[in-house]
Structure 1
Amino acid sequence: MSRARVVFGFGAPHGITEGPALVRAARQADRAGLDHLSLSDHPYFGARLDAYAAVGFVLGRTERLAALANVTNLPTRPAPMLARTVTSLMALSGGRVVLGVGAGGLWDRIAQLGVPRLSPGEAVEAFEEAIVLIRKLCGGGPPVTHEGRYYQVHELEAAPVPAPPVWTGSVGPKSLAATGRVADGWIPGHAADWLSERYRTSRPVIDEAAAAVGRDPGEIRTVFNLPGAITDRPLTAPRDEAGRWRGGSVQQWIEELTGAVLEHDAAGFTLFAAGHGPTDEVSLGRWAEEIAPAVREAVAAQML
């Protein structure tokens, strides 16, 4: 039995004054062999770095690390322009981009940017249409004409660059089904993990929608946002009373994540500090140099 490589990433500093810390963390992760860096995309907050400006800057200061907006605030970044942004980043970085996308949630704040407000149902429709159009505008081929409900382009050249992998932050049943039809990966919302009710009820929606359009559900990877502390000593209760992962020692993390891969088909993990904040330097080192290699080794041993 073969299994795709498990990916490990981390939540990076995103404050407008945290540029030096962001670069230090990115370069540390790059040297240590992590797979990706994650930045939130909330352009209505003036105290935060613009996600795509930061992604481009980080890619220019690293050699192997991929970067993604977790997840792109799609209503504020129209699909044709987002396609141009990600294909440019793909070309400049040698393909080190993941396109994380979401339908948009904080509509009161989104509307402050002058973006027309959509109903939840309309936002999901626009989200799926955007992914389809972005794929059309990647990989070369003839000029693209797209007459959709939310996007229209006429004889627009496609970039001669492959589309990046698309991971969604889908939560509701309609957006989960869209993920099954058109995406490559899923980041469960609200930092839900593999033992959560949200995961147990949501992943089958993705799988059924994928199968309905002739896709292999196993090709849609689940990459978990995972807040938690990496402690010097084992915790007696690495999960809280509600069953959410709190963290623990390096060995507790290794055992938990290995089980998540082997028993629950986890394809990757993005570490955040407890409270969903950026990862500190010490934890990032333990994550990259101790936990990730050990989990990969344990998974590989089981696959022999």
Structure 2
Amino acid sequence: MSLPDVTFGFGAHSGVDDIPELLRAAEQADRDGLDLFSLSDHPYLADRVDAYAAIGFVLGRTRRIAGIANVTNLPTRPAPMLSRTVTSLAALSGGRIVLGMGAGGLWNRIADMGVPPLSAGDAVDAFEEAITLVRKLSGGGGPVTHQGRFYRVHNIDPAATPAPPVWTGSVGKKSLAATGRVADGWIPGHAADWRSDRYRTSRPIIDAAALEVGRDPGEIRTVYNLPGIITDQPLPDTRNPEGRWLGGSPDQWIAELTEAVLHYGAGGFTLFSPSGGMQDSRSLAVWAQEIAPAVRTAIVK
């Protein structure tokens, strides 16, 4: 499966009590033509189901939509096993998986899982090495031996299935540069969008790092986590005084997202509920049936 140039997805909640709603929303989004569902990955929280177990289960209940852990808690999922997980999911689902990658954020909780903590710099180095190793262990070819700082494998046959696209949740300068060197996409942190200072100061770091290693920065898409409400009537203001997107009517969403693609090069949008919970069925339907198709039409005119 190949994703379109501009993807439309939705963020779901992986709470144990939310399982019926997660399945309902994913099946609805699949029928309505959305590209992606997104789950967070916090394996130290017992009130949530494991992200990759949930992604696999949902992919088995759907036919078209892809899944992403937004983003994978890498320190708790060593790269060689993570490669086996995502290539297996790709093989089982016909390629309906994106590998979201993070260096690790809540290190106190990660350490509670028995993982030795890393310094911020080492965590980013391990993150970049992991992406490289995931790719080495996929797509066929001869046995792989890798002797890195953080990962070592000896004479391991790679999976025949290619690695999925890798999108990162990079925030710091070092991590952003790693994204430019080795990733396929970037999800700006803290739900920053194309009008934010975070985007304006961060994206050039990715682009410069890509150019330094001979890559085309345009190959690295920016996919936004976008909380917002979808209203029946237009809102007088679609952004708050700090400039953060609030939402609005379908027409207001369509105008804003079309501009984001045509003038800022946006490569995708993942709709999140502003409350942080599960997306209601009406908003999800409007997102999939009205807003996404209208933006797709507008950007090819």
TM-score w.r.t. the length of structure 1 is: 0.97
Deviating above 4 A after TM superposition, structure 1's stretches of 4 or more consecutive aligned residues are none
Q: State the SS of the aligned residue for 1:284.
A: helix
Q: Alpha-carbon deviations, 1:231-269, whole Å to 9, x = none?
A: 111110110010000000010000000000000000000
Looking at structure 2, the residues matched to 49 and 81 of structure 1 have their Cα atoms a distance apart, in angstroms, of 19
2:38 is the counterpart of 1:18: no
Q: State the SS of the aligned residue for 2:126.
A: helix
| Residue in structure 1 matched with residue 282 of structure 2 by the alignment | 282
Query: Does the CA contact (< 8 Å) of 2:86 and 2:164 recur in 1?
Result: yes
2:87 is the counterpart of 1:114: no
Q: Alpha-carbon deviations, 1:106-154, whole Å to 9, x = none?
A: 0111111001100100100000000000000000000000000000000
| Residue in structure 2 matched with residue 52 of structure 1 by the alignment | 52
2:80 is the counterpart of 1:80: yes
Aligned residue-pair number: 298
Q: CA deviation at 1:21?
A: 1.0
Q: Alpha-carbon deviations, 1:145-190, whole Å to 9, x = none?
A: 0000000000011000011000000000000000000000000000
Looking at structure 2, the residues matched to 178 and 30 of structure 1 have their Cα atoms a distance apart, in angstroms, of 33
Looking at structure 2, the residues matched to 252 and 179 of structure 1 have their Cα atoms a distance apart, in angstroms, of 32
Correspondences of 1:19-38 after superposition (within 5 Å): 19-38=19-38
Amino acid at match of 2:207: D
Percent identity, please: 70
Query: Does the CA contact (< 8 Å) of 2:21 and 2:278 recur in 1?
Result: no
Looking at structure 2, the residues matched to 27 and 275 of structure 1 have their Cα atoms a distance apart, in angstroms, of 22
- Runs of 5+ consecutive residues of structure 2 not aligned to the other structure: none
Q: State the SS of the aligned residue for 2:23.
A: helix
Q: State the SS of the aligned residue for 1:270.
A: strand
Q: State the SS of the aligned residue for 1:98.
A: strand
Q: State the SS of the aligned residue for 1:38.
A: strand
| Residue in structure 2 matched with residue 254 of structure 1 by the alignment | 254
Q: CA deviation at 1:18?
A: 1.6
Amino acid at match of 1:72: T
| Residue in structure 2 matched with residue 138 of structure 1 by the alignment | 138
Q: CA deviation at 1:280?
A: 1.4
Looking at structure 2, the residues matched to 111 and 299 of structure 1 have their Cα atoms a distance apart, in angstroms, of 46
Looking at structure 2, the residues matched to 183 and 6 of structure 1 have their Cα atoms a distance apart, in angstroms, of 17
Query: Does the CA contact (< 8 Å) of 2:13 and 2:40 recur in 1?
Result: no
Correspondences of 1:81-100 after superposition (within 5 Å): 81-100=81-100
- Runs of 5+ consecutive residues of structure 1 not aligned to the other structure: none
TM-score w.r.t. the length of structure 2 is: 0.98
Tell me which moved more, 272-281 or 176-185.
272-281
Query: Does the CA contact (< 8 Å) of 2:12 and 2:37 recur in 1?
Result: yes
Q: CA deviation at 1:82?
A: 0.2
Looking at structure 1, the residues matched to 109 and 158 of structure 2 have their Cα atoms a distance apart, in angstroms, of 32
Looking at structure 1, the residues matched to 208 and 12 of structure 2 have their Cα atoms a distance apart, in angstroms, of 34
Looking at structure 2, the residues matched to 146 and 152 of structure 1 have their Cα atoms a distance apart, in angstroms, of 5
| Residue in structure 1 matched with residue 150 of structure 2 by the alignment | 150
Correspondences of 1:62-73 after superposition (within 5 Å): 62-73=62-73
| Residue in structure 1 matched with residue 268 of structure 2 by the alignment | 268
